Structure 1
């Protein structure tokens, strides 16, 4: 049986896991940048719209923090596992 495809997929997953914290921080940063650009483009000066934008920005920061934390936790778990099983 040919396992070439599965071995390739496993290699890709190992590379993604090795760089999980970096990917998490990059995605989180991109989310923040995209939303800030959307806020800057919006020219609505209504108070309710202003409040809604800040509320959404808080959600974006929370999601970005969760993504970055997930990446960091994956990296920490891998390093801990490597330390326990040399």
Structure 2
């Protein structure tokens, strides 16, 4: 089926409206009294598939770095994905 010659033309009789969006500003701050951050590293070295070795959940960057160093020394793998999860508290701001 050939393309219509008016394929790029604006649609007529379309509903028109003006939408205004406001932003709600929120500041997030770490909430250390509640929980330690969770840090995990996964080895993603590999050509056909990732190695997949994981550090499990650790709580300090030094622990993750140590795990990566040990895995690298044992396997020679050099590429890792690191995920950090931490609780934050939202402090609502004003509507703008």
Report which of the two structures shows the higher radius of gyration computed on alpha carbons.
2
Higher helix share: 1
Higher strand share: 2
Q: Pick 1 or 2: higher relative contact order, CA cutoff 8 A, min separation 6.
A: 1
Scaled by the length of structure 1, what TM-score is found?
Answer: 0.31
Scaled by the length of structure 2, what TM-score is found?
Answer: 0.29
